Amino acid sequence: MDASSLSSSSSSYSGLDVDFCRAVAAGLFGGDGTAVEFVDLSSGSEGYEKLSNLEVDVMAGGTWNLENDVQEASTGLGFAFSQPYFYGYSEEEDNLCLVTREDDQDWLTFVFWTVAATIHAEEHDITQELYSDMPTIYVYGASLDRMFQDVIFSVGNYGEIYNRSLQELIPRRGRNRLNSGMHPGPQHYPMPGLI
């Protein structure tokens, strides 16, 4: 089952992809995870085309592989990817990432670090309730110094996002857990240097 297609039966958007889009909005707009406009896409190639035509800023649910990174088939362009926020349960299954154009280094790193912040928060037991324990940063200027706090305030850490979006349908196991001695193997790993 594709995690990107999972949502509740309500009329509002919900699910793993949606929460990561809301996380980006929260980081950018002072904790307001609702400051996002969702665009329904019929296929991944449509998403890459809309990215390349500047019709969307971020695409959720993209697959990070060599082709899409260097020369995606429908556009002939390379794209930038967050670290994966969902892995299929076998090596052959897709990973899911947020995708941006490669032409704005600040934007693509902002999106990358937004996803990384949720994983960092889980690793350090920082929940939505404890969002203020996330570090402040000044990489993107003083107006965004609380971006990591705003992300966690809005959507919670990776575990909270997963539990809210998928746990009942796809219990968390395998590569969708943090690396630890109890769960060895290639799972989520927050990149060093967040603080």
**Domain spans, the chain:** 13-176
Whether pLDDT at 186 is above 50:
no
- CATH superfamily, domain 13-176, is Periplasmic binding protein-like II (3.40.190.10)
Q: Report pLDDT digits (tens) over 44-100.
A: 899 999 999 999 999 999 988 888 989 999 999 999 999 889 877 666 567 889 999
Report the C-alpha gap between 56 and 101 in whole angstroms: 10
Mean pLDDT of the 35-42 span: 93
Whether pLDDT at 104 is above 90:
yes
Whether pLDDT at 1 is above 50:
no
Band the pLDDT of 157: cuts 50, 70, 90.
Answer: very high
Whether pLDDT at 187 is above 70:
no
Token pair listed for 58: 């971020």
Residue partners of 100: CB distance under 8 A and separation at least 6: 51, 57, 58, 59, 79, 80, 81, 107, 108, 111
Whether pLDDT at 112 is above 60:
yes
